[in-house]
Structure 1
């Protein structure tokens, strides 16, 4: 291995201090000591300009090693790394290997369960590096194949793709970057519009749907019917259903979904009713119990789900489960 880099010499002060003073001059503020320190640069380091803040970055290369000093705020650090540091590292250290990458997204499965199911694929794929990451509603598998030629790397990656798709059948998400954007794309392919009805999630389902830019093309809106009176007046849930089965029931979830679809004039509707905790659970319906309703043309169903965790975690997992169930239903429809 190459010898470790020698200790960097004491920093020097280049003309960066003048740039710092110019930045604070129009504000008529005295330059704080912390900002004056930003003008010190390691001898031999390359200064990385920062168009988004006051702290410049530094890149120090010596004896096959690299040291990058970047500003702390992510909004400044990330662009500086991508625009200045990464290209320099590639130029200095990139090997002659050709690399091809692929990204797979899985829904309706936890990170640990996905890891267990994928383990045979990961072990059998030589020359391929994998990273498994959990996000809101989806698990991501990043695969990077290296070979002496681009064709060899691509062939290795295609073999991985076939193995992954075989092992993860039923969990592959083939649309979008997030679960909600994937659902939006699946709805757009059908020319369908979605409505929602929520109780225990209190608008979180709608929030995640409307986080997607352009959601108005496929999402009509939602009714947050927390109390039973609103479930009846807004969504048409019958008093008999509430009296016999309760608000946290499959029957109530079905009527909420059907009511949202019919009253909003939607093609599809989701509903959620449950017990987010930390109180309110029973032996038959513990905290974390939720019923998710799904109404499509000619068919309305509901299923039960029990999620562990805090109130916030239960609500997030329940919303993800609802989004995934509808996505799977839509992608099973012939023609999608």
Structure 2
């Protein structure tokens, strides 16, 4: 059969109703997996392309979702976006991406602009410069929202995170097992649950090994790289730590630069590890021990959760999804 490939043609070739084809293409829970597979296979073979204007009018959906993140250039978020886009394509959705540059006012401006029907739902990783849970408490009542990585724990929606506390405990223990007794902590995301969980994992691991956390060994992140470099150099000069544990990858370049400027050898004089999804971590000299989050899988899972809400399927599933990070030991910790 030749001619236009539309839902009617798919129905005729499969000898099923147009309504069944339509529901199968939209992954409706009313249709069996066997039937969906038949429809999807034929649609792919015939290069079927849906008519978005017609389907959107019928369903009152935009077939578009928004992703709001702090920074597109961050390795973690670029991988998470890939995971989101993979799922969105399966559902025939477009993805709009907004970056907040860690500004909660910009974040609110973006989300407010999306409440006029421009998108069907929002995936977001919140900004770190201010605790903003009251705003999101109201937002989730107005539009489907799923939070990932950086979340507000009290919100009544799906949240996809990693085991920040456990992996920080494991990483600190690794440094102690490597002989470190004076471990400095480079503290980012201190306004958010993820940042506080990482810090608690660090302090609890110290206590578990008979070491006391010391305020003078803690450096808090500042937006300017030069300020962070200055802080870390001052830390080395004043406290002589034997290890640096960085809770965010933005500290990595200042930390390595400080060691170069002060002629400190890694890992002989100081060991370094960091949360990071940088593909270049293994190429640094020496290669960097990292806590690597499953960024692609986090984005993938967050998108699946959003489509559960949009399709009213699986909305009673567990709403706090926690994936495991991995400690990848390299030369910068030296054991």
Name the TM-score class by shorter chain: under 0.3
* TM-score, normalising length: structure 1: 0.26
Greater RCO between the two (CA within 8 Å, min separation 6)?
2
Give 1 or 2: higher strand fraction: 1
Larger radius of gyration: 1
* TM-score, normalising length: structure 2: 0.26
